[in-house]
Amino acid sequence: MGRFMGTETEYGITTPSDPTLSPLITSTHAVVAYAAMHTSARSRWDYTEEHPLKDSRGYDLQRYRTVPVVDPNAIGVANVVTTNGARYYVDHGHPEYSSPEVDNAWDAMLYDAAGDLYLRQSMEDIRQLWGEGISVLDSADPCPPIKFYKNNVDGKGQSYGSHENYQYSRHTDFASVVQGLIPFFVTRQVIIGAGRVGIGRASEHPGFQISQRADYFEQEISLETTLNRGIINTRDEPHADATQFRRLHVIIGDANMSQYSNFLKLGMTKLVLDAIEAGVDFSDLDIHDPVAELQRVSHDPTCTHKLLLASGKRCTAIDILREYRNRVQGLHGEGDVDKQVLALWGEVLDDLEIDPLRTSDRLDWTAKWALVRSFMDRGVAADDPKLKMLDIQYADIDPAKSLYHALVRKGSLRTLVSEEEIAHAAQHPPKNSRAYFRGKVTEKFGNEIAASSWQSIVFKIDDRMIRVPLDDVDGWTFEKTADIINSASQASELLNALGYKHV
């Protein structure tokens, strides 16, 4: 059973030679530099279908509406649609990569990893432009060399997001989704956590914890993503036919360097959502105080903490995840990806139960924990700044500097896909979703596109704006559109072939 999904990653950004520079400015430099040096034309983002304050519980907070027309080079909102159908842009002062829509967890993991390549290219572009004394922004000086980190905290009290998105039926009872997912989200961190040096929002206490984000959640349910964060986010913005679908917007997750952690994060969540939609009951796993237990689980790298359930029973996170796996495994059908998720899920739980460090060749948090332990075994104190530096260096996306990449080269961390496969995903859109059409027409007809979004492409033909809606996520695939795109030499021919006559 397929399910459309994708990821959004806000990267940490620094300018080592001048830490005082605003990340809003440097992030804009990064996106605009990439666009200027690697795309033939630019288009703005089409905000027509954006409704970030519409709530799944039935109301709409109208504090603001995003402006419908935005300069794609504007500071703080720079934007580019990439040839693989993704979006690379500035959000909340961070460079963000939103992956193209895919219908399985393997491809979602692959296209998430492709985002690192866009950021690395921006890093090289900025370095080159700095050497030449060139600024891509009219209102700013040249940007000095920058660094990017695939992490979620700055160590000073701020957290930035790594989000997942899953399409599901609007007819599914939202209360069942909430009930089924909260215990899963509280406990899945023992598999998908990225690891963090420091306890508390500002890392005010020494120590190591499993999740980067656990200390930043305050409620069980919330619409907010930057404050008063909820374990379940209620945003009702499907980016598809709103009469048929919702989009589960998951904000309670860490940015993963490990391909195993990322694949399991996406694959396990997909399977649990499958089970909820199939009517599987998880109510006996309700947790007495989910927010408190979220943090208790994160603060216990031994994975032996027993959570208090609403029933009065106590279980470890491993116990609860094993129960989830038992209940979903009969629903996966014959899909190879689902089978692989289930196999790895069981294997990792078995190893975590014996000794969490047995998973340090696959999972982010245990790989990082093993490094921290090795330093502490040599006499480094728990509050030594060296450990915080280790934490940051693990998430450096520059292979020459990253501890994650060093562990991969050494053979200490396993991978699932090759660098060549990731590079291919960075250049080519997935074939089985509307991302194929978005990526290919952006590449071929970019100078005739006025605006793009997840749900539309707006073509500019002479003085006319022609909006092509892409509401069907599975309706603009390679099979359905490749011949039309390949046979058209200009956008007007493409539109005529699509049924937009007299263009």
Instruction: Just list the catalytic residues.
Output: 91
Residue with tokens 């090795």: 374
Q: 421: closest CA among 100, 177, 113?
A: 113
84 residue type, one letter:
N
- Alpha-carbon distance of 199 to 87, in angstroms, equals 33
Chain-centre distance of CA 448, in angstroms?
A: 30
For 390, the 3-state DSSP assignment is: helix
Helices 259-277 and 336-354, axial angle in degrees (round to 10): 110
Any alpha helices (H) in 171-227, and if so which ranges? 174-187, 189-192
In sequence order, what are the residues at sequence separation of 6 or more whose Cβ sits closer than 8 angstroms to the Cβ of residue 476?
433, 434, 436, 437, 438, 470
Q: How many CA atoms lie within 13 A of 29 on its CB side?
A: 28
Paired tokens of 238:
């499907």
DSSP 62-108: -S----S---TTSTTT-EEE-TTS-EEEEETTEEEEEPPPBSSHHHH
Chain-centre distance of CA 418, in angstroms?
A: 20
Q: 241: closest CA among 163, 170, 166, 165?
A: 170
Name the helix (H) or strand (E) containing 13.
strand 12-14
